[in-house]
Amino acid sequence: MVYYKTTAEIELIRKSCLLVSATLAEVANFLKPGVTTLQVDILAEKFIRDHRGVPSFKNYKGFPFTCCISVNDAVVHGFPNNNALKEGDIVSVDAGVFMNGFHGDSAYTFAIGELKPDVKQLLRVTKESLYKGVEKAVVNNRVGDIAYAVQEHTERKYGYGVVRELVGHGLGRQLHEDPQVPNFGKRGTGLKMKEGLVIAIEPMINMGRKDVYYDDDGWTVRTKDGKPAAHYEHTVCIQKDRPLILSSFTDIEANEKANSNLDASYSSMS
């Protein structure tokens, strides 16, 4: 069942999404070598609750944490733990907020210190593919147009692996609603999108092969070849002329850049 949202409902979803975005911006300020992903999760939960939100993911189908935090070869749904992050790691942080009866959802992959050029390219291309998909999220396009745009940019152009087992989704009063939004597929196929549809578009892209497996915890999805994966996600509302992105990377990217410059200045002083 596909639920179309009213203007008022879309604004409530936007508020939830923007709290997710603000949470991820706080995470961007906090992340550095030596920090543990469990510390990140605790920070995120406190920030969400301090701003009168409820973490959407905590206890969802038994998931025990506020954030899915996935490091290096973990694609998504990673369990926060006490392992310290180190220089050169990449960390996907996926979070949700429930507020005013509606969910918000977004994810961002962070660099810990300086990355190898091929890993840096993976992050750049995956983020680019998110916006390629978002461009197609307009009235009378089909879900397959989004899927094709992501796959074309990542798999066909760069040879990366697009994960098949996991997809984006509708979003609203429920964290996961119809339709499913794959990152692979054919143009002109799938649901024809109408105004008021709200979806989470989330490319999950592997540097190597597309194949994945579930870790022993039953949640963490990892690449079979052990190569790194990247994950970015926006919540988007379908409109006639252009997509309306309800989440935001603006403050996340600003904090990421500021902390990168700070690290560089410390390096030059040492």
Number of domains in the chain: 1
pLDDT at 15: 98
The reply to whether 39 falls in a domain is yes
Q: Has residue 264 got a pLDDT over 60? A: no
The reply to whether 166 falls in a domain is yes
pLDDT at 268: 33
Q: Tell me the CA distances in angstroms from 38 to 13, 43, 178, 221, 270, one per residue in order.
A: 27, 9, 31, 18, 29
Three-state secondary structure string covering the chain = CECCCCHHHHHHHHHHHHHHHHHHHHHHHHCCCCCEHHHHHHHHHHHHHHCCCEECCCCHHHCCCCEEEEECCEEECCCCCCCECCCCCEEEEEEEEEECCEEEEEEEEEECCCCCHHHHHHHHHHHHHHHHHHHCCECCCEHHHHHHHHHHHHHHHHCCEECCCCCEEECCCCCCEEEEECCCCCCCCCCECCCCCEEEECCEEECCCCCEEECCCCCCEEECCCCCEEECEEEEECECCCCEECCCCHHHHHHHHHHHHHHHHHHHHC
The reply to whether 170 falls in a domain is yes
- How far apart CA 78 and CA 263 sit, in angstroms, is 27
**Mean per-residue pLDDT over the chain, rounded:** 95
Confidence band, pLDDT 50/70/90 cuts, at residue 262? low
Closest CA to 108 of 210, 198, 167, 27: 27
pLDDT at 259: 86
Confidence band, pLDDT 50/70/90 cuts, at residue 261? low
pLDDT at 260: 79
What number of other Cβ atoms are within 10 A of residue 165's Cβ?
Answer: 13
- The CATH number of the domain where 87 resides is what? 3.90.230.10
The reply to whether 2 falls in a domain is no
- Interval 75-116: pLDDT, tens: 999 999 999 999 999 999 999 999 999 999 999 999 999 999
- How far apart CA 210 and CA 207 sit, in angstroms, is 8
If you average pLDDT over residues 206-220, what whole number do you get? 97
Q: Has residue 263 got a pLDDT over 80? A: no
Give percent of the chain above pLDDT 90. 95
User: Tokens 């997809």 correspond to what residue?
Assistant: 167
pLDDT at 31: 97
Q: Has residue 224 got a pLDDT over 70? A: yes
pLDDT at 42: 98
The reply to whether 105 falls in a domain is yes
The reply to whether 209 falls in a domain is yes
The reply to whether 1 falls in a domain is no
If you average pLDDT over residues 199-221, what whole number do you get? 97
pLDDT at 266: 31
Q: Has residue 46 got a pLDDT over 70? A: yes
User: Tokens 């550095």 correspond to what residue?
Assistant: 32
- How far apart CA 255 and CA 251 sit, in angstroms, is 6
User: Which residue segment(s) compose the domain that 230 sits in?
Assistant: 7-269
